[in-house]
Structure 1
Amino acid sequence: MLKRESMTNPFRAEFPFYLPCCVLMLDDNEEFLQSVRTAISGEHAVLCYTSPTRALTRLRAAEKQAAQGFYPFSSVSDEAFTDDGDQLVVFQASGLQEIIGSPDRYGMISVAIVDEVMPEMRGLEFCRKLQKSGIKTILLTGEMTDPAQTIAAFNDGIIDRFISKGDAQALDKIILAIAELQQRFFTDKSPALYLATTAARKCGLTDDQLNAVMAEAHAIFPYTEYYFHSKSGGYLLRDLSGATKLCLFSDQETQGEVADFLADQEGGLAEAEKLRCGSHLLPWGFLNDEFVDENPPGKGTQTTRTSFAARAVAGAFWCLIEESDMPPSLYQGPRQNETSWDAFKLGLLAVPLNEDTAI
């Protein structure tokens, strides 16, 4: 049996953010479209089209949406260049965490499933139009498909997978192919973001340590999407139902530096010791007035910093913070028109065929 999304940890250190995306399916057989959409709706949100023209219009819109999400950079100025001729740009890290509040974020399309034999346009011709978009393609073949032509298209990178409609395991293969190709979609689009967010991290964890932390976090809170959070240096996590938590992490050296600051500047010896021994976590980004308790119980008027009980794995310290414990400057909560991934998938089942507006 295939794993449900929430059971599979989506985190990869090389992806600064990840979210489940729409799948677009193009076939001239309406009954086939509806049956496949219903069959895989538990795992994927599927937009169905019988019109290649309208499907292509929707995919072009999705291509622009992806470009905005994967390129949160802006030029310093039209005249800001290095001696080598490279233009200087600014990484707008806050743009990544803003994606989580975008009501149309799930409308991004990562995979297109296209029937080869259609009256208006052949599937391979349609897929050729998507070659530079970054959207991954699955070609559905049948008795009238030319096998040699299909294999050549696969070898030339015109299509990323091909699956026979007559295969008894076609549905399972489609579900697995979508999952694999969505990973490739993010892999292909994330390199520049990865370099920028690695430089923006507030501690010295390696990718392996970060992967270990996020695997343990997923075991406790099975998130399906995550976003690099520049203010804290952690990740905002969201699960299928829309619940949100913040994952913070640090290393021994960084926690020692924060502990020294607390002890030297504020006299917080007790808090500093908690950080040094790894029982509690307080990132550099939390050294502000929003995380200060001026009158802690039983301690008179002593000022203490709000730290969080930490766990340890692979030489890293980490914790999960509940949405209710996040100050507004870090996360303002779900917006009025936000929806969860589960609710989005359910709602998409009612979207008519050939719907080409942004979701």
Structure 2
Amino acid sequence: MSKTRLAPYFHPTQIVLVDDDIDFLGNLSLQLEADLPYLLFDSTEKALAYINDRDDESPSRQRFFRLEDEQEGRRHVTLDTDALAREMHFTNRFSRISIAMIDYAMPRMNGLEFCRRIRDPHIKKILFTGVATETEAVEGFNDGVIDRYIRKSEHNVYEHLNRTIRELQHAHILETFKTAIDVFDIEMPPLLGDEAIAELLGTLRSRYEFVEYYMVFNPAGFLLIDGDGELYRLVIVDELEQQALVDQAAALGAPAECVRLLRSGENLLDPAFMSRAQNVTSDAYRHWKSHMRVAECINGARNYRWAVFESDPGEHGMSRPRSTFNRYLEWLDTMGYSLM
């Protein structure tokens, strides 16, 4: 399972920042990128209680898998795309804690001891350290107590911090997912093991400003969701999958020009439009041109073509999430400090 580069879903998760210097916490909150959800604590006891009391809220990691059949003692387990679709409707998904970041020099309990007392092994730990405590930070890192340490005095410290947080948010979800798949005999979709697909999602994040993604199939790709809950459908197909789309369009009575453009590999048709065409009259393809996009190439473990389509609510069998990330950030702005 080590070949899995991507989890089949991602959504922002909560960061807990702990420091007894309230002025430092206030300045730190101004330096974090605006779309990073965080809570501030000036007490190690309050922060640790908050983190550990939320253990029971973590959903089962096995929820993304479905047992198809069992023959000769061998289980055939598949990725449950319906479960992935349900994930974006969990109202508490953004409040799941992925990262705890704490200053080393804290009263009553230093930062390393705080990290040792966090019960959830999947929560990533970042230690803020000064020159005098760097040796302890290195030992904590080598012992696996913390995942990163950052010197408060280093050049471009906040740029480093923002980059590290984003990296660890993804690592948290991926490792949580891989913990589940390690107990199953399951072949993961090739897209999740291809570094080129991970890079593509990173590129599209800035272009479409999406904050969540969820894997979908028929055809393969991802549902992208921005901070306001707007949906985009990323289609990614290899040569065989592209041919299947051509055959499907031809079987549904698509015009010859439409089929020709699809067969050339230079264009892709909105899968939601093709789905609707199965249930309407023969003139369903009358407006097909407005639902076609130029396909871009990406060369990874396979040669892929991809395109992004805007999605209306209800398309692809999925509705917009009612709990959006921007609404969650608004809640943090009004309620976050009350937990200190």
Give the TM-score taking structure 2 as reference length.
Answer: 0.77
Q: What residue is the counterpart of 2:28 in the other structure?
A: 36
SS in 2 for 1:349: helix
Note the alpha carbon deviations across 1:193-215, whole angstroms, 9 max, x for none: 7899x9575x9898256457546
Query: Do the aligned residues in 2 keep the contact of 1:249 with 1:281 (CA within 8 Å)?
Result: no
Change in 2 beyond 3 A, CA 1:296/1:226: same
- Aligned pairs for 1:47-86 (under 5 A) are 47-60=39-52, 63=55, 65=57, 68=60, 71-73=63-65, 83=73
2:252 is the counterpart of 1:252: no
Q: What residue is the counterpart of 1:349 in the other structure?
A: 333
Change in 2 beyond 3 A, CA 1:332/1:58: same
Compare 110-119 and 63-72 and name the one that shifted more. Answer: 63-72
Q: What residue is the counterpart of 1:222 in the other structure?
A: 209
Could you list the runs of 5+ residues in structure 1 that have no partner in the other structure?
Answer: 1-11
2:313 is the counterpart of 1:313: no
Aligned residue identity for 1:345: L
In percent, how many aligned pairs have the same letter? 22
The whole-number CA distance in structure 1 between the counterparts of 2:5 and 2:141 is 29
Query: Do the aligned residues in 1 keep the contact of 2:9 with 2:84 (CA within 8 Å)?
Result: yes
Higher helix share: 2
Q: What residue is the counterpart of 1:5 in the other structure?
A: none
Q: What residue is the counterpart of 1:180 in the other structure?
A: 167
Aligned residue identity for 1:19: H
- Aligned pairs for 1:102-251 (under 5 A) are 102-130=90-118, 133-142=121-130, 146-167=133-154, 169-191=156-178, 199=187, 207=194, 210-211=197-198, 214=201, 217-218=204-205, 220-230=207-217, 232-251=219-238
| Alpha-carbon offset, residue 228 of structure 1 | 0.8
Note the alpha carbon deviations across 1:49-80, whole angstroms, 9 max, x for none: 23333322332355555554675236689xx6
The whole-number CA distance in structure 2 between the counterparts of 1:76 and 1:48 is 45
Change in 2 beyond 3 A, CA 1:180/1:14: closer
Change in 2 beyond 3 A, CA 1:354/1:133: farther
Note the alpha carbon deviations across 1:125-159, whole angstroms, 9 max, x for none: 1111237521111112247x544333211111111
Aligned residue identity for 1:105: R
Q: What residue is the counterpart of 2:11 in the other structure?
A: 19
Aligned residue identity for 1:164: R
Could you list the runs of 5+ residues in structure 2 that have no partner in the other structure?
Answer: none
Give the TM-score taking structure 1 as reference length.
Answer: 0.73
Change in 2 beyond 3 A, CA 1:19/1:282: same
Query: Do the aligned residues in 1 keep the contact of 2:6 with 2:192 (CA within 8 Å)?
Result: no
The whole-number CA distance in structure 2 between the counterparts of 1:125 and 1:298 is 64
Query: Do the aligned residues in 1 keep the contact of 2:277 with 2:284 (CA within 8 Å)?
Result: no
Change in 2 beyond 3 A, CA 1:216/1:183: closer
SS in 1 for 2:334: coil
The whole-number CA distance in structure 2 between the counterparts of 1:241 and 1:191 is 29
The whole-number CA distance in structure 1 between the counterparts of 2:203 and 2:128 is 38
SS in 1 for 2:317: coil
Aligned residue identity for 2:99: V
Query: Do the aligned residues in 2 keep the contact of 1:17 with 1:226 (CA within 8 Å)?
Result: yes
Query: Do the aligned residues in 1 keep the contact of 2:220 with 2:235 (CA within 8 Å)?
Result: yes
The number of residue pairs the alignment matches comes to 330
